[in-house]
Structure 1
Amino acid sequence: MKRIISVVFLAVICANPMFAQQKRTTTPAQQKMDNFINTLMSKMTVDEKIGQLNLPSSGDITTGQANSSNISKNIKAGQVGGLFNIKGVDKIKAVQQIAVENSRLKIPLLFGMDVIHGYHTVFPIPLGISATWDMDAIKKSARIGAIEASASGINWTFSPMVDISRDPRWGRISEGSGEDPYLGSQIAKAMVTGYQGKLQANNEILACVKHYALYGAGEAGRDYNTVDMSRVRMYNEYLPPYKAAIDAGSASIMASFNEVEGIPATASKWLMTDVLRKEWGFKGFVVTDYTGIPEMIEHGMGDLQTVSALALNAGIDMDMVGDGFLNTLKKSLAEKKVTIEQINRACRLILEAKYKLGLFDDPYKFCDPTRAAKEVFTPEHRQVAREIAAESFVLLKNNNNTLPLKKSGTIGLIGPLADNTANMYGTWSVAALLDQSVTVLQGLKNALGNNAKILTARGSNFLADSVMEHRYVNVHNPTYKRDSRTEAELIKEALEVAKKSDVVVAVMGEGSEFSGESSSVTNIEIHRTHYSEGHQTTKIYEDGDQDPSGRSAQARQYHNPDIGTRPN
């Protein structure tokens, strides 16, 4: 009896697709692509194959520099598979022209960018839009992001970020969808579908789910830190959104910086091959994060040649900025540290992505100079962004029925960022138009007209320490100007405004520079300089005409001791 049960159990396990590598289904379209790529790869030298695995940053080169830059020399030599951080049809077309007219095999390039929550039309940050719980709206935001980015020549976005995080100290928590694996999975599907569509039209771009894996679970919320958890917890709480994105057809995935089970994710064969390809059947390509390969050197994994070989052996296909693949793989091949089959695998996957985008049929597919004027930052797109933003508002408290605000009386607006354009868009809004930003002050004026009086006060500087304030705010935010008055003088002004006001709207919290890489914090409480800005804090929709309907995607944690005690 025991033997029969064991055999049946083994049969069930083997039949489960999570435990069996999925076989590739051959269709006429698949066969046509395979034949094309087989023919192309038969003509490629080892150097050209390795070149397809190289993803440098463009430095946003200008059109005039395109043909004379160092990058152009590598493109002509077939040593570049794609570029990122370049936007604009004229510039991208000039670079693409080098690839398809001046390189030996005329292989087109991918052009990537972090289109995270919109392009010129900016939507709420990912943690904010998650509060809508509206998958149609989230999909629509990705669709508009893809339309606008592709009209600027971009054909690949490093999004969505689906990292589950339950530690608000982590600097990139605002870039994800919160703490819940089910919600995160649904959002991952919606975003991938919105970006990619069917990958046929010139406004559909490659998605890249990131950061695989467990990037949001670093110890103490510290970026790039160790992740140590059981596989049971991984599979139940942290891995589902990655798999959901892959099931939705994500064309690419980005490796994370952190280590998992003592091994950097970039060098983890268990993550990149065993789970990703064998269990989940992922058929796209894997790109490192920025300098993900050479950063392993500092962590004692070996020299550049060693860590590059480790990454390729693990299942990495494309090296972002590191130059490790480009400069060492041929030597590693000669020394039998990597195999030609591994290089061929990675090269084929990059070429397949380009084929699916239609770049071999039309390398200038995303370079139509007439699209931007008609499809970027349109009134229709901005209206959708406003509607989605309205859905994302979460009402935490409404003491004494303060909301909705009456469009009459005197309103006090207090805070150092109440009239600051750069901080309206949030983190990772790389293509936002700052001159088009509407501040809280301007928004209130637009909504109230002459029906109410608005009094303003600074209340405080952003930080008490002017040196730290310059380091973290003014470096990337030239629109912010420090007030030379003392803290006591600023608070006195704020109190005077509050006394004269029927209600106070206090604009407090972090600037956008306090989110992102290397922006983890030790204290989640609001900065002390903001505590005395007013008697009452109110968050409102611009004209008060819509009820806040959002539901938070992250457990509310008020003080450091709460961290980790109120999940989900």
Structure 2
Amino acid sequence: MLDYRDTSLSADARAAALLSQLTIEEKCSQLVGVFPWVLVDADGSDAEGSAEVLRNPPGHVAGLTADDPKRLASLTGAVQRKLVTQTRLGIPAIIHGEALNGFVAGGHTTFPTGTGLAATWSPELVERMASVIREQMCRTGVRQALSPVLDVALDPRWGRVHETYGEDPYLIAALGVAFVSGLQGPDLRNGVIATAKHFLGYGLAEGGINLSAAETGSRRLRDVFAYPFEAAVQIAGMRSVMNSYGDVDNVPVGVNREILTELLRDTMGFDGFVSSDYATTEHLVERQRVASDPAHAGRLAIAAGLDVELPTAYAYGDVLAKEVRRGAVDLRDVDASVERVLRAKFELGLFENPYPQERITLNAVAEEGRELSLELARRSVVLAKNDGILPLPAGKLKVAVIGPHADVVTYQFPTYAYPAWREMIVRMSRGELGNAIGVEHTAVAWNGELFPPVDPESFVRERYDATSLVQEIGDFAPTVVTQPGSGLTQELGPEAVERAVLAAGEADVVVLALGGASLWFNSDRTEGEASDSADISLPAAQAALAEAVSGTGKPLVAVLVQGRAYTLPEAVKNASAVVIAPYGGPFGPKAVAEVLFGITNPSGKLPYSIPRHTGQIPVYHHQKTGTGRRNPYPPAVAQHYLDMPATPLYTFGHGLSYTDFALTDVAHDSEVDTHGSLSIASTLTNTGSMAGATVVQLYLRLTSSGVARPAQQLGGFKRVHLAPGESRRVSFRVEAAQLGCTNIDREFTVEAGPASFFIGFDSDGRQLEGTFELVGAPRVLASAQRSFLSEAVIEGQ
């Protein structure tokens, strides 16, 4: 018999050897998580009843974090020590955490939120960010990240858009591959398992309401929503996927074998493990009502291919073991899931090195990634409109900064950033969030010890050295005055508006600091998990404030801090300049101020379209040919709607600069075989007087027999920085294997036919256009044969 402790064996062989030694109960326990407080107390000592938990030791640990890395490492070490030294086979756990835009644990740098990272169009920086997160998580013993979010977000009513990389599957794939590559690293023994979520169709929640069904067909699921996940699997070797809470074709994904096994494993070639979103199996019984009790939910889920139940046992563990013993569950399904989990543990090297780093220097950890966070924040700022007022002259103006974002820093840290997560835990422990997961006596005691209540605004200013927009503008303007004027969604009364108008009237220029906030189920907010909106207009209180301030006649610069699209009131649309910034973390306001005063030449590009009105939704750029705003106008009809254009106010990929760029001299292949590749090149020139960067964007229009395809789809991009007068040749190489779709016979196929492209600076900018012909026999491709990302090269670099 093979010995699972033999390091010369492969991870597969070791997993199979260990699996053979497990009892049914031990197997089923490897598929569940526990909260850390059932194993250890907050001081690391044995928790009451931990011996019973260790009788069939859990495979995973959820919700383990702390205010500083040393304490976190101490707790993860204590948990692993119990599992390794006090159980029959000494199997360590996979401890997971969140890492959407920074490791969600105290003492670590926060980066811009997902749509902010996407606005940079900088996969190389996202990979660097993920590498920093990998080192931090490994150091503390947390070896699985419930990140990245690869949902294709097509509905801005959905409150979780800011967690995503926006509306375009290609851009999401490019950034997702970069994140997964950086997080898992070249060798998983020194890496962290990436868990892409939420598979599948979660960004198309019906009505924009969280948890809702994805109403779409199988082709669209594969070609649009699965595209980023499939790219991460095939290019970056992603090791885990998290299911969506929603259902597809009336079947919840957590029990949907067509999605979790036939599509994910059989078609896409995924060979890692599926982690359930928290309480998925409970949702099956209590919310979706497709299972009568936990045992029924467990039977459905394990047969579908849901490997791991998080955060704690409900339908797996002892419940699932009983179902196996009575013959209601096929043991082969359980064995397949357990083997995947054990293989991941061997790939991580947990059996040889289960413990975190012993020595951690807090100051050094706190500094890691700060310069990178600042650079990402700078690149994420989008200049949407500018009549010439920007950049503002430094040292000359009296500036009034008016609005709810003027002097508040907390709003820069959304859900899935540590400060917001911490405040949620504090409030949960007080019982302020109803029956949210974790409200129990032991959890309250644990959280009370680790997370003493603090003022959130003071916390981010002291722990992250975060500064407000008022403070940052004060570095460039000799006189700065500020008034909030309104809350995010609530009016502060006529006196507050009067004070804001008075301050504006005495200034040379007014910066309207408006926008949203993503928080958990607490406080004034406009976005976040279970914080969706039927109307995506900028909140009425802020619109009224903007209208009142615009009445002063002073030049207005609107700064919108947001994680998703908002429709804008006339006073904002008519401002002299409009700047759109994400929830940027500690350097968000600094990045905005640097753009306002020309220290940074803006280069951000929108990762989502901004509609003129909520009624336009959906307005994303890759709508199918002949659908929505991609429909041709009927005779004698000037526009699609009677009351407004169907086009967005600001399209996907839009973003201005303080300099000008031109694209010229396009060259391209006119004919491409279905087994070949397409070459397209053009010259980019900085025709202005200032150094700057832009993103050259390639869009494709393809045809297939009998299947409607997008009117255009992003096929490549390259961010390029040029000095004044400098030119560079930018070339794209697109493999024909990137040009296919799921055909009328439901096979992914590259077919011959006419095609076209354009190159521009946004999804409506057809600066250069061309046509080509795909020729040759139809080419049916397996997932491993597909190409997902084109090669973009700046010649001479």
Does TM-score exceed 0.5, indicating one fold?
yes
Describe how 1:199-210 pairs up with structure 2 within 5 A. Answer: 199-200=187-188, 202=190, 204-210=191-197
Q: State the partner residue of 1:556.
A: 610
- Distance, in Å, in 1 between the alignment partners of 2:338 and 2:395 is 61
The one-letter amino acid of 1:68's match is: A
The one-letter amino acid of 1:331's match is: K
In the TM superposition, residue 63 of structure 1 has moved relative to its aligned partner by 3.5
Give the SS at the match of 2:36. Answer: coil
Give the SS at the match of 1:294. Answer: helix
Describe how 1:403-418 pairs up with structure 2 within 5 A. Answer: 403-418=391-406
Q: State the partner residue of 2:224.
A: 237
In the TM superposition, residue 420 of structure 1 has moved relative to its aligned partner by 2.0
The CA deviation string for residues 2-46 of structure 1, in whole angstroms up to 9 with x for no partner, is xxxxxxxxxxxxxxxxxxxxxxxxxx9995323322332222111
Structure 1 contact 555–567 (Cα < 8 Å) conserved: yes
Structure 1 contact 76–104 (Cα < 8 Å) conserved: no
- Distance, in Å, in 2 between the alignment partners of 1:265 and 1:30 is 38
Structure 2 contact 257–304 (Cα < 8 Å) conserved: yes
Structure 2 contact 28–318 (Cα < 8 Å) conserved: no
Structure 2 contact 261–305 (Cα < 8 Å) conserved: yes
Structure 1 contact 219–226 (Cα < 8 Å) conserved: yes
Match of 1:40 among 6, 11, 18: 18
**Quick one: structure 1 residues 353 and 261, their matched pair in 2 at CA, closer, same or farther if it must change by over 3 Å?**
same
Give the SS at the match of 1:459. Answer: coil
The CA deviation string for residues 333-386 of structure 1, in whole angstroms up to 9 with x for no partner, is 13322111111111111111111111011111xx113235365221x5101110
**Quick one: structure 1 residues 246 and 290, their matched pair in 2 at CA, closer, same or farther if it must change by over 3 Å?**
same
Match of 2:467 among 426, 438, 457: 438
**Quick one: structure 1 residues 419 and 258, their matched pair in 2 at CA, closer, same or farther if it must change by over 3 Å?**
same
Match of 2:376 among 388, 403, 417: 388
**Structure 2: any 5+ residue segments left out of the alignment?**
1-5, 66-71, 421-458, 520-525, 551-555, 560-578, 580-590, 623-797
Describe how 1:371-382 pairs up with structure 2 within 5 A. Answer: 371-373=360-362, 375-378=364-367, 381-382=369-370
In the TM superposition, residue 517 of structure 1 has moved relative to its aligned partner by 1.7
Describe how 1:70-149 pairs up with structure 2 within 5 A. Answer: 70=49, 72-73=50-51, 75-87=53-65, 88-119=72-103, 120-149=108-137
Q: State the partner residue of 1:452.
A: 478
In the TM superposition, residue 89 of structure 1 has moved relative to its aligned partner by 0.2
Structure 1 contact 115–149 (Cα < 8 Å) conserved: no
Give the SS at the match of 1:226. Answer: coil
- Distance, in Å, in 1 between the alignment partners of 2:382 and 2:7 is 47
Structure 1 contact 177–183 (Cα < 8 Å) conserved: yes
TM-score under structure 2 length normalisation: 0.62
Match of 1:487 among 493, 497, 501: 493
Give the SS at the match of 1:312. Answer: helix
Deviates more, 1:533-542 or 1:74-83: 533-542
In the TM superposition, residue 280 of structure 1 has moved relative to its aligned partner by 1.4
Give the SS at the match of 1:395. Answer: strand
Give the SS at the match of 1:507. Answer: strand
**Quick one: structure 1 residues 272 and 502, their matched pair in 2 at CA, closer, same or farther if it must change by over 3 Å?**
same
- Distance, in Å, in 2 between the alignment partners of 1:358 and 1:375 is 26
**Quick one: structure 1 residues 558 and 150, their matched pair in 2 at CA, closer, same or farther if it must change by over 3 Å?**
farther
Q: State the partner residue of 1:523.
A: 535
Q: State the partner residue of 1:22.
A: none
**Quick one: structure 1 residues 109 and 339, their matched pair in 2 at CA, closer, same or farther if it must change by over 3 Å?**
same
In the TM superposition, residue 461 of structure 1 has moved relative to its aligned partner by 2.5
Q: State the partner residue of 2:46.
A: 67
Give the SS at the match of 1:100. Answer: helix
Deviates more, 1:275-284 or 1:395-404: 395-404
Give the SS at the match of 2:136. Answer: helix
In the TM superposition, residue 440 of structure 1 has moved relative to its aligned partner by 1.7
The one-letter amino acid of 1:442's match is: Q
Tell me if 1:501 matches 2:511: no
The CA deviation string for residues 250-303 of structure 1, in whole angstroms up to 9 with x for no partner, is 111101100001100000001111111111111100011010011111222121
Structure 2 contact 189–347 (Cα < 8 Å) conserved: no
Give the SS at the match of 1:209. Answer: strand
Tell me if 1:369 matches 2:365: no
Give the SS at the match of 2:158. Answer: coil
Q: State the partner residue of 1:13.
A: none
Give the SS at the match of 2:515. Answer: coil
Structure 1 contact 207–252 (Cα < 8 Å) conserved: yes
Structure 2 contact 57–87 (Cα < 8 Å) conserved: no
In the TM superposition, residue 460 of structure 1 has moved relative to its aligned partner by 1.1
The CA deviation string for residues 294-342 of structure 1, in whole angstroms up to 9 with x for no partner, is 1111222121111111000000110013521013212211332211111
- Distance, in Å, in 2 between the alignment partners of 1:344 and 1:372 is 42
- Distance, in Å, in 1 between the alignment partners of 2:389 and 2:95 is 51
- Distance, in Å, in 1 between the alignment partners of 2:86 and 2:184 is 30
Structure 1 contact 165–179 (Cα < 8 Å) conserved: yes
Describe how 1:218-367 pairs up with structure 2 within 5 A. Answer: 218-247=205-234, 248-298=236-286, 299-302=288-291, 303-320=293-310, 321-364=312-355, 367=356
In the TM superposition, residue 94 of structure 1 has moved relative to its aligned partner by 0.7
Q: Which runs of 4+ in 1 moved over 6 A?
A: none
The CA deviation string for residues 504-528 of structure 1, in whole angstroms up to 9 with x for no partner, is 1122121222332211111100111
**Quick one: structure 1 residues 292 and 405, their matched pair in 2 at CA, closer, same or farther if it must change by over 3 Å?**
farther
Match of 1:425 among 395, 413, 428: 413
- Distance, in Å, in 1 between the alignment partners of 2:345 and 2:196 is 17
The CA deviation string for residues 109-159 of structure 1, in whole angstroms up to 9 with x for no partner, is 111111110132111111111011111011111111222233233111000
- Distance, in Å, in 2 between the alignment partners of 1:462 and 1:152 is 37
Give the SS at the match of 2:318. Answer: helix
| Higher RCO (C-alpha under 8 Å, 6+ residues apart) | 1
- Aligned Cα RMSD in Å? 2.1
The one-letter amino acid of 1:508's match is: L
The one-letter amino acid of 1:520's match is: D
Q: State the partner residue of 2:34.
A: 56
**Quick one: structure 1 residues 362 and 150, their matched pair in 2 at CA, closer, same or farther if it must change by over 3 Å?**
closer
**Quick one: structure 1 residues 225 and 36, their matched pair in 2 at CA, closer, same or farther if it must change by over 3 Å?**
same
The one-letter amino acid of 2:46's match is: N
The one-letter amino acid of 1:351's match is: L
**Quick one: structure 1 residues 443 and 505, their matched pair in 2 at CA, closer, same or farther if it must change by over 3 Å?**
same
Query: Once the two structures are aligned, what percentage of the paired residues are identical?
Result: 27
- Distance, in Å, in 2 between the alignment partners of 1:272 and 1:438 is 44
- Distance, in Å, in 2 between the alignment partners of 1:325 and 1:66 is 27
The one-letter amino acid of 2:308's match is: M
Deviates more, 1:55-64 or 1:275-284: 55-64
Give the SS at the match of 1:40. Answer: helix
**Quick one: structure 1 residues 456 and 98, their matched pair in 2 at CA, closer, same or farther if it must change by over 3 Å?**
same
- Distance, in Å, in 1 between the alignment partners of 2:328 and 2:389 is 69
Match of 2:593 among 538, 542, 548: 542
Question: Which one has the bigger helix percentage?
Answer: 1
Structure 2 contact 213–248 (Cα < 8 Å) conserved: yes
- Distance, in Å, in 1 between the alignment partners of 2:419 and 2:360 is 17
**Quick one: structure 1 residues 384 and 235, their matched pair in 2 at CA, closer, same or farther if it must change by over 3 Å?**
same
- Distance, in Å, in 2 between the alignment partners of 1:32 and 1:75 is 30
TM-score under structure 1 length normalisation: 0.86
Question: Which one has the bigger strand percentage?
Answer: 2
Q: State the partner residue of 2:621.
A: 567
**Structure 1: any 5+ residue segments left out of the alignment?**
1-27, 466-485
- Distance, in Å, in 2 between the alignment partners of 1:421 and 1:74 is 45
Give the SS at the match of 2:152. Answer: coil
